[in-house]
Structure 1
Amino acid sequence: MMGRFAGSLIVSVLFLQGATAAPAAAPVSYGVEADTFHPVKEQNGMVASVDALATQVGVDILKQGGNAVDAAVAVGYALAVTHPQAGNLGGGGFMLLRTASGHTTAIDFREMAPTRASRDMFLDAQGNADSKKSLTSHLASGVPGTVAGLALANKEYGTLPLSRLIAPAITLASKGIVVDEALADDLNVYGKEVLIDHPNSKAIFYRPDGNPWKRGETLVQRDLAHSLTLIAKQGPEAFYKGKIADQIASEMAAHGGLIGKADLANYRAIERKPISGTYRGYEVYSMPPPSSGGIHIVQILNILENFDLAKMGFGSADAMQVMAEAEKYAYADRSEYLGDPDFVKVPWQALTSKDYAKSLAQKIDISKARPSSEIKPGKLAPYESNQTTHFSVVDKQGNAVAVTYTLNTYFGSGIVAGSSGILMNNEMDDFSAKPGTPNVYGLVGGEANAVQPYKRPLSSMSPTIIAKGGKTWLVTGSPGGSRIITTVLQMVVNSIDFGMNVAEATNAPRFHHQWLPDQLRVEKGFSPDTLKLLEARGQHVKVMPTMGSTQSIMIGPDGMLYGASDPRAIDDLTAGY
């Protein structure tokens, strides 16, 4: 048994009038010759992750009778070994899960500021934000939450013992993994920035000749295997109160870090009520604060519901104009109102109300972009780097799990805690070091996200589940820092409004606007004619590198599972049985 887990204003108004009654797109047709991309198709269970080895670990757990949470926990631990750029024990994140019966919940295992954290700890002598302190020093780490979060999920919703779920990761760490192209590239580029200056880290990720491990070579992580074994035998207490806690606290004490044993012992993962909404008859569930993702995905969808996107068509200047303008309003609100709900009152009901969205929709001019300087946070009734990672799981009973977790930037702070083999996060950089000042990714944060002891930093991570007629329909999420919200948004819109299957929605080119800077970022692949039309409307269009790495599963009308991993990633895999 599973226990609990069983554009002028006139033009705008014309579009509004024609869109409010627009029906949802017709159900997606699968396997037809018209499909330009085809998803992976399986019947009994499916896992989509950024790493092929981790995906197979999850599929094996499903085959052994584990449910979606069991598989997700196993994948989470496996990624700590196979994808150290973001997979982690020394970081944190979010899990969204929905049972076959429709119970939906969120598990918050976001990192927490240590007891001795202070409001201005990342300012220099001149009062300016110092990114070196918040990114690559021992001060950069918040109290990790991954081990606690995965344990909570396993205890409340899993069916197999935790030790069994960690066992594959122990084997991978002790016997070694073959370095794939993605890891080799990231070690070569980012390792030189964050790993090489730390002896404990260099000893693991660099060869004796001083060069990083290359593609095809075997990386053995014995210290990490030992730490994983301790957790498998003793549970999360090994990490938060035992020998691993000693290693983390000693590392911090020796180098001016703030995390102490009491901070670790006092950490708790929290189960929260998801943010929910509706979009053209579909039910939307996503992560609540301290994630900003759920609120702003629902907010933007509420705005878009006032426009007939299906009639406009994918990649049209009209559709992109409307979506970009809606995104501006949401990101302006993010800068002002979002933070840890245990410390600040987040007006989520106002931000996600249909009436508020309609008032914003009425401000959108389809023929002319509104400059970001003219958009302020609404009158109501920090970033992660690209190197976050997401995975999705669905089992044969129809239980679904979406997990997004991270160390923040590539390899986190680059610091391995003592002989634990565990890379530490640099999530303290996600706080507003100086409210009102943009961080290196251009996101502006406010007082609601200022540094404070025991507080969890604001995030954009957005594990999301869409239901149709009460049944789970789409499980998705993505890394991408400030672009996570818009990436996940486009997966939803592509699927519902534009009738794409999950692979087509994944492969479609993406675009992004985050209010500040006033720039419409687009991937290559959009028509040059469309981009010229957008520029003529006042959008500052800039073609830039790819955005996101979605790992998604859709449950088709025939009950079959259809999955897709993002072609923007290297070595990712969707598989099932």
Structure 2
Amino acid sequence: MENFNSRRSTALSLDGMVASTQPLANRIGQRILAQGGNAADAAVAMAAALNVTEPCSTGIGGDCFCLYFDATTKKVHGLNGSGRTSANTTLEAVRASGIAGDKLPWDHALTVTVPGAAAGWVDTIEHFGTMTMQQVLQPAIDLARQGAPIHHVAARSWAGAQASALQSSANPGGQAMLLQGQPPAEGQVMVMPELAATFELLASKGKSGFYQGRIAQAIVDCVQEHGGILTLEDLEQHRSTLDDPLYVDYAGVRLWEMPPNGQGLTALLALNILEHIPGFESLEINSTQYLHFVIEAVRLAFADTTFYVADPAVSAVPIAELLSESYAAQRAKLIRPDVAMAEPDRGSPVNSCDTVLLTVTDKAGNACSFINSNYMGFGSCLVPTGCGFTLQNRGANFVLQSGHPNCIGPRKRPYHTIIPGLVTNADSGELYMTFGVMGGFMQPQGHVQVLLNLIQHGLSPQAALDAPRFCVGPGHEGAAGGVALEEGISAQVQAELAAMGHEVELLTGYDRSRFGRGQVIRQEMQAASDGTTRRVWAAGSDPRGDGAAVPA
């Protein structure tokens, strides 16, 4: 991360590809594909392995989302594996606990929603996979029992600000996430028998092994001991949902995103706005004018989604209106070519007369973009006794404001930051690529930047990930025009953006983690020396992380 300019070539394969932030997880994905599993099987196996190699970003105590491309039908499927609040959660109960302001404290047990990942893994295999859960989870079980050496970026994240919460005497389960009471250093080996036992229960009993019995009781006890209100009934009633993905067309391709409660809508709105900027397609990558337009489009998109994105089962989300051409044209008119706008307000789209990501392709042409997260690093840092994983803090994204679509409430999913991405050809429906960029509110803006690098500027998958990025605010918040720029964007461009009114911050070294970590696997049809045309998987992996793209 100190000096990560990539010297990697794009990885190429005929038989499939795996890409993630961790080489050991990639090896497990390769193994599953070699055993006859498909892209969904390998994705879940890798997601489980990442619990061992990078629990400071992901875990079975968090949530997951999945986009799956079926090569036979050319259909894109979506699975929402995010959890809900307790049936007893109300704004009044939150206020009665002494919490003021518009947000829950990130480390309060009330931020712990039902972990959706376990059910999401099982449902992904049931609906899209070909193997049993025992086959899929066995490599991660073995990894947890035998131990995994911790890589550089993961070790640094593990030792971050949350380490003290894991070491607290009030959180005895946290010792399972430490090595002799300390975060593991690079190269040290983490052995996680409690996590292995958790995976074994899920493998043998399915969802009931997690949402009922010993693990469920441990989760409830841990949450309630720290002031939360989850119950056994809340866990037992959890369900994933199969949701139709949303899409927009741009420059001949179709970008697919999960619908709310996920924030993928932000990327779609931004692309729609850019389609209505005259001459945008001819601008040079990361030039002043180019960055200005993309930054403004992202800011406008976030202005809408931070208000409108909520649990659609509870609050109506005007998706059709937000994605309409007329609304995109209306919002694009707010962008001036030479001056940064003031902090934009949400629009009015209704006519009234805001992580690890991995991706896999297989030799049959199927593709899976899969993302799994605790939210803020180790999440709440609360570790149920004997379970070996932390509980997420997704509830920190609720708004404590009566009448807001994303106001906290009973059995409600919060605004969710994690988003998988998938792209098809708009005309033929053939897979173009499976991809994603993890990292909180960076994710949709990362989707937009990497996609534009590929389709508008002709970069290879690896070069598209290497290119310097911007990040609006710490994610999306910030004063008028506030934007972080990554080292590699020229000093002249920085100065010119500042002159336009953008509040520019240059980030270098490890601070570049704000720009997320992405993976790309693209399908290409290439000529072969025998006169045939062959499918080639071309892949890149973000140099801001520990991982790589590896042929199956």
TM-score normalized by structure 2?
Answer: 0.90
Mapping 1:287-436, distance limit 5 Å? 287-293=258-264, 295-307=265-277, 308-372=279-343, 375-381=345-351, 383=354, 388-434=355-401
* Map of 1:65 onto structure 2: 36
Structure 2 residue 482 is matched with structure 1 residue 506: no
* Map of 2:537 onto structure 1: 561
Structure 2 residue 517 is matched with structure 1 residue 517: no
1:372-405 superposed Cα distances (whole Å, 9 cap, x missing partner) = 1x54433434x5xxxx111111111111111122
Amino acid at match of 2:542: D
Say which of 234, 240, 248 aligns to 1:269: 240
* Map of 1:86 onto structure 2: 57
Task: Report the alpha carbon displacement of residue 257 of structure 1 after superposing the two structures with TM.
Answer: 2.2
Q: Name the CA distance, whole Å, in 1 between partners of 2:495 and 2:350.
A: 35
Amino acid at match of 2:502: Q
After TM superposition, the structure 1 stretch with the greater mean CA deviation from structure 2, 510-519 or 241-250, is 510-519
Q: Name the CA distance, whole Å, in 2 between partners of 1:573 and 1:194.
A: 31
* Map of 1:438 onto structure 2: none
Task: Report the alpha carbon displacement of residue 180 of structure 1 after superposing the two structures with TM.
Answer: 2.2
Say which of 505, 510, 514 aligns to 1:542: 505
* Map of 2:19 onto structure 1: 48
Q: Name the CA distance, whole Å, in 2 between partners of 1:215 and 1:480.
A: 22
Q: Name the CA distance, whole Å, in 1 between partners of 2:381 and 2:210.
A: 19
* Map of 1:483 onto structure 2: 442
* Map of 1:106 onto structure 2: 78
Amino acid at match of 1:566: D
User: In structure 2, do the counterparts of structure 1 residues 255 and 376 end up closer, same or farther at CA, with 3 Å as the change threshold?
Assistant: closer
Q: Name the CA distance, whole Å, in 2 between partners of 1:520 and 1:182.
A: 24
1:231-289 superposed Cα distances (whole Å, 9 cap, x missing partner) = 11111110011221122122233333211110110000000000111112211211111
Partner of 2:86, secondary structure, is: coil
Task: Report the alpha carbon displacement of residue 36 of structure 1 after superposing the two structures with TM.
Answer: 8.2
Partner of 1:449, secondary structure, is: coil
Task: Report the alpha carbon displacement of residue 102 of structure 1 after superposing the two structures with TM.
Answer: 1.0
Structure 2 residue 423 is matched with structure 1 residue 451: no
Asked if the contact 1:404/1:463 (under 8 Å) is kept, the reply is yes
User: In structure 2, do the counterparts of structure 1 residues 325 and 515 end up closer, same or farther at CA, with 3 Å as the change threshold?
Assistant: farther
User: In structure 2, do the counterparts of structure 1 residues 121 and 575 end up closer, same or farther at CA, with 3 Å as the change threshold?
Assistant: farther
Structure 2: runs of 5 or more not aligned: 1-5, 527-534
Amino acid at match of 1:335: T
Structure 1: runs of 5 or more not aligned: 1-34, 436-445
After TM superposition, the structure 1 stretch with the greater mean CA deviation from structure 2, 510-519 or 333-342, is 510-519
* Map of 1:148 onto structure 2: 119
Q: Name the CA distance, whole Å, in 2 between partners of 1:306 and 1:345.
A: 27
Partner of 2:437, secondary structure, is: coil
* Map of 1:128 onto structure 2: 100
Amino acid at match of 2:371: T
Partner of 1:358, secondary structure, is: helix
Say which of 509, 513, 528 aligns to 2:491: 528
1:434-487 superposed Cα distances (whole Å, 9 cap, x missing partner) = 47xxxxxxxxxx811111111000013221111123111121112221111101
Partner of 1:506, secondary structure, is: helix
Amino acid at match of 1:389: V
Task: Report the alpha carbon displacement of residue 300 of structure 1 after superposing the two structures with TM.
Answer: 1.0
Structure 2 residue 177 is matched with structure 1 residue 205: yes
Partner of 1:556, secondary structure, is: strand
Aligned pairs, number: 523
Q: Name the CA distance, whole Å, in 2 between partners of 1:51 and 1:488.
A: 20
User: In structure 2, do the counterparts of structure 1 residues 163 and 347 end up closer, same or farther at CA, with 3 Å as the change threshold?
Assistant: same
Q: Name the CA distance, whole Å, in 2 between partners of 1:174 and 1:314.
A: 47
Partner of 1:481, secondary structure, is: coil
Asked if the contact 1:194/1:411 (under 8 Å) is kept, the reply is no
Amino acid at match of 1:70: D
Q: Name the CA distance, whole Å, in 1 between partners of 2:202 and 2:35.
A: 22
User: In structure 2, do the counterparts of structure 1 residues 263 and 367 end up closer, same or farther at CA, with 3 Å as the change threshold?
Assistant: same
Structure 2 residue 547 is matched with structure 1 residue 572: yes
Q: Name the CA distance, whole Å, in 2 between partners of 1:122 and 1:505.
A: 44
- After superposition, the CA RMSD in angstroms is 2.0
Amino acid at match of 1:520: V
Q: Name the CA distance, whole Å, in 2 between partners of 1:456 and 1:75.
A: 25
1:523-558 superposed Cα distances (whole Å, 9 cap, x missing partner) = 111111112222222222221332010011111232
* Map of 2:216 onto structure 1: 245
Partner of 1:61, secondary structure, is: helix
Asked if the contact 2:52/2:190 (under 8 Å) is kept, the reply is no
Amino acid at match of 2:411: Y
Partner of 2:268, secondary structure, is: helix
Structure 2 residue 423 is matched with structure 1 residue 466: yes
After TM superposition, the structure 1 stretch with the greater mean CA deviation from structure 2, 340-349 or 509-518, is 509-518
Q: Name the CA distance, whole Å, in 1 between partners of 2:346 and 2:221.
A: 45
User: In structure 2, do the counterparts of structure 1 residues 36 and 177 end up closer, same or farther at CA, with 3 Å as the change threshold?
Assistant: closer
Q: Name the CA distance, whole Å, in 1 between partners of 2:450 and 2:274.
A: 14
Task: Report the alpha carbon displacement of residue 222 of structure 1 after superposing the two structures with TM.
Answer: 1.0
Task: Report the alpha carbon displacement of residue 126 of structure 1 after superposing the two structures with TM.
Answer: 7.8
1:207-228 superposed Cα distances (whole Å, 9 cap, x missing partner) = 44x4332222221111111111
Partner of 1:98, secondary structure, is: strand
Q: Name the CA distance, whole Å, in 1 between partners of 2:314 and 2:96.
A: 26
Q: Name the CA distance, whole Å, in 1 between partners of 2:113 and 2:442.
A: 23
* Map of 1:27 onto structure 2: none
Task: Report the alpha carbon displacement of residue 355 of structure 1 after superposing the two structures with TM.
Answer: 1.7
1:495-528 superposed Cα distances (whole Å, 9 cap, x missing partner) = 1111111111100000133364320221111111
